[in-house]
């Protein structure tokens, strides 16, 4: 591939319209050059949040229960490289459009299922959201303060990390396999197992030093005074992660404290006492004042920034010197992808021989292909 060409350029992806995890998988592929076409339904089955994960994508509208629209969909499947299916187990198969059918039509197709629960597990056919997947994966039990109930995070861990990103990993592995064998395959990801895999390290550490106490009493979950969030004078926050002794020394220096006057860093019985000292000292200055103290040191003290305060421009998932991603500098206020937007261009590029035979309804944008026009 030529230099400076996105690594997935030329890859054709059908993304069956869904909520956050599957659009995120499609977004990653699109950011690296894949031609991602969202397959929308006539209806809008879910309310807010709307799909804003549509950068670099186009849309077609398909009714899989309508023969002529289904026929148009199958023509696109024939030339697709990847199909992302976010529906519950068995939905597409009951429509006669599961992987066993579509891969007969196109043996090179990589059919990627993205489920919530483990499809063959006890919750496989049940509805759920990020909080449910984290609960079943065991991760939610780790999150939260001492003496408090588990704290659900924003839906980054389950939906996006354990779901969309894991699904993309499977797709890329399948593409590598296809480059050798010429054959596609079925990729099955689910947010429970994906999230659990991300938690490999804390699961392995359970019961061992620094992970042998109940939630909120361990090194990395809020008990350690040198691995904690502190409020500043102006009601803002700073994050402290000074575990190593050299970084801990720089933390104390920045706080104006003498190590000899304090409990030992690793005296766990006296961590509450040391935390109280840090809490009082951090409250003496504003976040900006603490940044002036720590930003140029290795004291491992960072400001807790709001989303609008982070460094710009935004960066892609990974930067690649020879095959960079498309532009992702602007990630908020991205225009919503309207149903059917870009459909004619998709037909022209994907199925030029059938472009004139396909109809796009002016109002609904429904794409159909009459058998008589073939």
| Catalytic sites, residue numbers | 159
Count of C-beta atoms within a 10 Å radius of residue 8: 25
The angle, 0 to 180 degrees and rounded to 10, between the axes of the packed helices 343-350 and 67-79 is 50
Report the candidate in 364, 373, 350, 354 with the shortest Cα–Cα distance to residue 62. Answer: 364
> What's the rounded Cα separation, in Å, for the pair 325 and 273?
49
Q: Cα–Cα distance between 222 and 98 in angstroms, integer? A: 46
Rounded to whole angstroms, the Cα distance separating 204 from 188 reads: 25
**Rounded Cα gap, residues 226 and 281, in angstroms:** 13
Task: Kindly report the number of other CB atoms within 10 A of residue 369's CB atom.
Answer: 23
Longest dimension (CA), the chain: 89
Which string of DSSP letters, residue by residue, matches 258-316? -GGGS--TT-GGGHHHHHHHHHHHHTTS-HHHHHHHHTTSSS-EEE---GGGS-SS---
């Amino acid at each position: 591939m030529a230099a400076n060409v996105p690594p997935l350029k030329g890859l054709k992806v059908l993304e069956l319209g869904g909520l956050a995890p599957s659009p995120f998988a499609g977004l990653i592929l699109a950011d690296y050059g894949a031609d991602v076409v969202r397959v929308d339904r006539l209806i809008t089955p879910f309310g807010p949040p709307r799909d804003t994960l549509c950068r670099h994508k186009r849309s077609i509208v398909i009714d899989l229960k309508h023969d002529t629209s289904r026929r148009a969909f199958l023509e696109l499947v024939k030339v697709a490289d990847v199909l992302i299916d976010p529906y519950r187990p068995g939905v597409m198969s009951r429509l006669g459009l599961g992987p066993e059918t579509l891969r007969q039509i196109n043996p090179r197709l990589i059919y990627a299922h993205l489920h919530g629960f483990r499809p063959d597990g006890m919750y496989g056919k049940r509805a759920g959201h990020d909080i449910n997947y984290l609960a079943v994966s065991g991760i939610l039990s780790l999150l939260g303060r001492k003496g408090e109930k588990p704290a659900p995070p924003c839906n980054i861990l389950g939906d996006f990390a354990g779901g969309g990103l894991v699904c993309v990993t499977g797709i890329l592995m399948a593409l590598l396999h296809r480059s050798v064998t010429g054959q596609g395959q079925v990729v099955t990801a689910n947010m429970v197992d994906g999230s659990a895999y991300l938690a490999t390290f804390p699961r392995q550490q359970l019961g061992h030093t620094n992970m042998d106490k109940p939630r909120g009493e361990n090194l990395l979950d809020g008990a350690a005074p040198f691995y904690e969030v502190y409020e500043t004078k102006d009601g803002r926050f700073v994050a402290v992660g000074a575990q190593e002794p050299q970084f801990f020394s720089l933390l104390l220096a920045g706080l104006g404290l003498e190590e000899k006057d304090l409990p030992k860093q690793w005296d766990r019985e006296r961590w509450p006492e040391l935390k109280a000292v840090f809490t009082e000292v951090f409250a003496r200055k504003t976040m900006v004042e603490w940044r002036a103290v720590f930003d140029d040191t290795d004291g491992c003290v960072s400001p807790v920034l709001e989303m609008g305060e982070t460094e710009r421009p935004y960066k892609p998932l990974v930067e690649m010197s020879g095959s960079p991603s498309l532009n992702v500098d602007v990630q908020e206020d991205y225009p919503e992808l309207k149903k059917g937007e870009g459909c004619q261009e998709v037909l022209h590029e994907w199925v030029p021989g059938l472009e004139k035979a396909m109809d796009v309804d002016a109002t609904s944008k429904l794409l159909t292909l009459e058998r008589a026009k073939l």
